Structure 1
Amino acid sequence: MCEVRRAALRMRTTRFFLPWAGSGVRMRATTMADGDRAEGASTESELEPLRFQRLWGEGHFEVPASERLGKCRSVKEFEKLNRIGEGTYGIVYRARDTVTDETVALKKVRMDNEKEGMPVSSLREITLLLELQHPNIVELKEVVVGNHLESIFLVMGYCEQDLASLLENMQTPFSEAQVKCIILQVLKGLQYLHERYIIHRDLKVSNLLMTDKGCVKIADFGLARTYGMPPQPMTPKVVTLWYRAPELLLGVTTQTTSIDMWAVGCILAELLAHKPLLPGTSEIHQIDLIVQLLGTPNENIWPGFSKLPLVSQYTLRKQPYNNLKHKFPWLSEAGLRLLNFLFMYDPKKRATAKDSLDSSYFKEKPLRKYIPPQPGLQCLASADLSLCLPSLRARAHAHLPPPSQQAGSQHQHGD
């Protein structure tokens, strides 16, 4: 695939098959950008030819500039209309496909260290999204490229709004019926992912997009991972702090879909309360907020709790009560049962996406209700989001380490 090929081209020692060189020709890749730029080489506005040194034998193979893009289209075929946001691993633009006249989201892959090529996180996101097709998961249409190897863009289905911006700007909060509509769609998307052994690992309101027809889509798969049995160690430094499960805060490195379900509980509670449920300012504060809400965990309700890696580093307050009912006194018994199920301390007992979809909460009144377009938020489609909604960027990135630190931590844990 072109995006994998282009990433591999940046690593001189990477072995791979080149479609240009004929079947089975294995070569070592170099480019003029690696220090071999000749005098009078191509300018910024031109495509550079690529040169490949053979892994064995002598000589080079050169890919003509006219064939350098392979099967990828050029980003020049897209007209950038405005910048609409910034995800964990790249800037996102609203753009027009000049060939089809379709409005799309154009995500420029961030290259923090261009010499090392495309970030592994972006390769993972591309690989996952190309395999996924579900109405509640953002669509990756194709990968397009710029003039140089480090210019890579993801063309994605365009959604008019994201949930964080709606919460920031709605004159009237979502009704409980509309909240049910949103959460049901999130759960359907998650069920699809989890059945394919994929953990999103960064669910939050700013990563939930909404079309003008009220369709909710899960987005930003930069931290997503596949998992298997036995589970492999992964970094616990994932999921934005406000939505991070207690087992992650206490240092567990074997992760399952249960961390996504905790985040769903936080999102459901946030939509019902019209404000974040657990807005911690540090990991210590986050754990304390969880204990205040749910009570102090122990071996009876969470077997193995006392042996978690970081338990000894915290002095948990003694809080014997679950305060969810006091937090949501108006919520039905079925709604409280669902929240408690999603907020189980023991990940093995926590609700799955299927469990949640079967909850009687979604079958009782008020029944889910269609979410109409939000005409007051047209600024999202016509203006720079960082100017229109300055608080959103801080919220979207709150308490996640920068990508470079995440990458280092992930490498340490083998993921």
Structure 2
Amino acid sequence: MGDTESESEQIRLKCIRKDGFFTVPPEHRLGRCRSVKEFEKLNRIGEGTYGIVYRARDTLTDEIVALKKVRMDKEKDGVPISSLREITLLLRLRHPNIVELKEVVVGTHLESIFLVMGYCEQDLASLLENMPTPFSEAQVKCIVLQVLRGLQYLHQNFIIHRDLKVSNLLMTDKGCVKTADFGLARAYSIPMKPMTPKVVTLWYRAPELLLGTSTQTTSIDMWAMGCILAELLAHKPLLPGTSEIHQVDLIVQLLGTPSENIWPGFSRLPLVGQYSLRKQPYNNLKHKFPWLSEAGLRLLNFLFMYDPKKRATARDGLDSSYFKEKPLPCEPELMPTFPHHRNKRAILATSEGQSKRCKP
């Protein structure tokens, strides 16, 4: 009976160099990876682009970590390419404002793979939904500076995140903000190779993506950064489109109608002919943020340049005089602490606003 059980539990893999299969000895099943059984799942805290995320305790060290289960829904031949990309990228990245991949652990089945990430107590989407009073301008500056530092590091390492939004920004109880969820991120090379334009959650999607460009640069992250800065300042999403057509219209209403004059190459974008753009000659950012300083408006306008080549870089953002004028950015350690909403939330309960924010 015992022999039959061990036979059924054996893992057999196909040989690459010759025909046939080989059996993996029990002691080699996990390779060098630890077992997920060494982690106690405490509660579900969210769902990334490619997997469910749990708050968990490492039973060996007692450390609280985030445990992200890799989605294998449609995979027959190993790990999804998106997850391999995320693992490969995160293993390369070490920066205080980028979420840390500590290790990869495995379950009893070949398709059970988990990423062990550094744990952050909050995500900004949950905070924005639940905060009794909005972030002050000094706190907004503190958050945005940290995101820009993480972005500068990514872009210097030739990585585009491609899904920046408030729900992918995490914050520790010590006020440290980290960019997370690299399921759509790509390493890029020069010259740029074509990439699918169906990336970046709609509300944060740059106009060149909406108009079908196949050339993606770090400027798509910078447009999303502008949307995040505006959302933190206004205490609500800036461009909450319900469809791609609506999203383009909201952008035009806010910034005016693009043209060849301000955006060379605009008329040659693949989907331009599919949109009937309203004639709107004005930039309305100043009307949207009448209380914002000249330096703040300059930064927003720089991040919202239609022409990706003229759009602010992360370095430009960090150098902005907006962060050098009063109110000055507060120090991360002085950021307020908040109740841990994600840990109290029922497993499937998410507020309508947050679920909309997270939709691609």
TM-score grouping bracket, smaller chain normalisation: over 0.9
Tell me the residue number matched to 2:58. 97
Tell me the residue number matched to 1:72. 33
**What is the alpha-carbon distance in structure 2 between the residues aligned to residue 369 and residue 133 of structure 1?**
24
Query: Is the contact between residue 139 and residue 335 of structure 2 (CA under 8 Å) also seen in structure 1?
Result: no
**What is the alpha-carbon distance in structure 1 between the residues aligned to residue 311 and residue 124 of structure 2?**
25
Q: Check if 1:359 corresponds to 2:320.
A: yes
**What is the alpha-carbon distance in structure 2 between the residues aligned to residue 394 and residue 378 of structure 1?**
18
Q: What's the CA shift for 1:219?
A: 0.1
Query: Is the contact between residue 40 and residue 56 of structure 2 (CA under 8 Å) also seen in structure 1?
Result: yes
Q: What's the CA shift for 1:60?
A: 4.1
Match of 2:337 among 374, 382, 394: 374
Query: Is the contact between residue 68 and residue 114 of structure 2 (CA under 8 Å) also seen in structure 1?
Result: yes
Q: What's the CA shift for 1:65?
A: 1.4
**What is the alpha-carbon distance in structure 2 between the residues aligned to residue 61 and residue 275 of structure 1?**
57
Stretches of structure 2 lacking an aligned partner (at least 5 in a row):
none
Q: What's the CA shift for 1:268?
A: 0.2
Give the percent of matched residue pairs that are identical in Structure 1 and Structure 2.
77
Amino acid at match of 1:307: R
**What is the alpha-carbon distance in structure 1 between the residues aligned to residue 161 and residue 111 of structure 2?**
26
Amino acid at match of 2:126: S
Secondary structure, counterpart of 2:52 in structure 1: strand
Q: Check if 1:386 corresponds to 2:337.
A: no
Tell me the residue number matched to 1:404. none
Tell me the residue number matched to 1:348. 309
With the length of structure 1 as denominator, give the TM-score of the two structures: 0.83
Query: Is the contact between residue 84 and residue 384 of structure 1 (CA under 8 Å) also seen in structure 2?
Result: no
Counterpart mapping for 1:157-306 below 5 A: 157-306=118-267
**What is the alpha-carbon distance in structure 1 between the residues aligned to residue 312 and residue 7 of structure 2?**
57
**What is the alpha-carbon distance in structure 1 between the residues aligned to residue 45 and residue 150 of structure 2?**
23
**What is the alpha-carbon distance in structure 1 between the residues aligned to residue 274 and residue 102 of structure 2?**
46
**What is the alpha-carbon distance in structure 2 between the residues aligned to residue 105 and residue 396 of structure 1?**
21
Tell me the residue number matched to 1:32. none
Match of 2:73 among 112, 122, 126: 112
Q: What's the CA shift for 1:139?
A: 0.3
Amino acid at match of 1:104: V
Counterpart mapping for 1:7-86 below 5 A: 40=5, 48-53=10-15, 55-56=17-18, 60-86=21-47
Query: Is the contact between residue 48 and residue 147 of structure 1 (CA under 8 Å) also seen in structure 2?
Result: no
Task: Work out the number of aligned pairs and report it.
Answer: 356
Q: Are residues 54 and 263 of structure 1, via their aligned partners in 2, closer, same or farther at CA, if it must alter by over 3 Å?
A: closer
Stretches of structure 1 lacking an aligned partner (at least 5 in a row):
1-37, 401-415
Q: What's the CA shift for 1:384?
A: 3.6
Q: What's the CA shift for 1:205?
A: 0.1
Tell me the residue number matched to 1:320. 281
**What is the alpha-carbon distance in structure 1 between the residues aligned to residue 21 and residue 274 of structure 2?**
57
With the length of structure 2 as denominator, give the TM-score of the two structures: 0.95
Q: Are residues 289 and 179 of structure 1, via their aligned partners in 2, closer, same or farther at CA, if it must alter by over 3 Å?
A: same
Q: What's the CA shift for 1:79?
A: 0.3
Secondary structure, counterpart of 1:116 in structure 2: coil
Amino acid at match of 1:365: K
**What is the alpha-carbon distance in structure 2 between the residues aligned to residue 173 and residue 165 of structure 1?**
12
Secondary structure, counterpart of 1:386 in structure 2: coil
Q: Deviations over 1:98-157 (max 9, x none)?
A: 000000000000112131321111000000000000000000000000001100000000
Query: Is the contact between residue 202 and residue 223 of structure 1 (CA under 8 Å) also seen in structure 2?
Result: yes
